[in-house]
């Protein structure tokens, strides 16, 4: 994964395609997380940070 991140630093196309590929997974995880409760309080999600 580190090699891919490093390659994306120099290749804008790779960086954009990675963001698109990861976006669906992030949305699914956010949807599931916001439905969770602890002590009768729902979990909150913040927007993910992009390191690229």
Give the per-residue pLDDT at 52. 47
Q: Using the 8-state DSSP alphabet, how is residue 25 labeled?
A: H
Q: Is the pLDDT of residue 50 over 80?
A: no
pLDDT in tens, 14-37: 888 888 888 888 889 989 999 999
Average pLDDT (2-11) is: 86
Classify residue 30 by burial, with Cβ atoms within 10 Å: 0-12, 13-18, 19+: middle
- In residues, how long is the chain? 52
The rounded distance, in Å, linking the Cα atoms of 29 and 12 is 26
The rounded distance, in Å, linking the Cα atoms of 43 and 27 is 15
Q: Note the pTM of the prediction, 2 decimals.
A: 0.57
42 pairs with which residues across the strands?
37
Q: Is the pLDDT of residue 51 over 60?
A: no
Q: Using the 8-state DSSP alphabet, how is residue 11 labeled?
A: -
Give residue limits of the domains in the chain. 2-42
């Amino acid at each position: 994964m580190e090699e891919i991140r490093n390659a994306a630093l120099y290749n804008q196309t790779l960086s954009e395609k990675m963001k698109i590929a990861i976006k669906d997974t992030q949305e699914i995880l956010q949807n599931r997380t916001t439905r969770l409760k602890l002590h009768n309080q729902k979990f909150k999600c913040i927007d993910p940070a992009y390191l690229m």
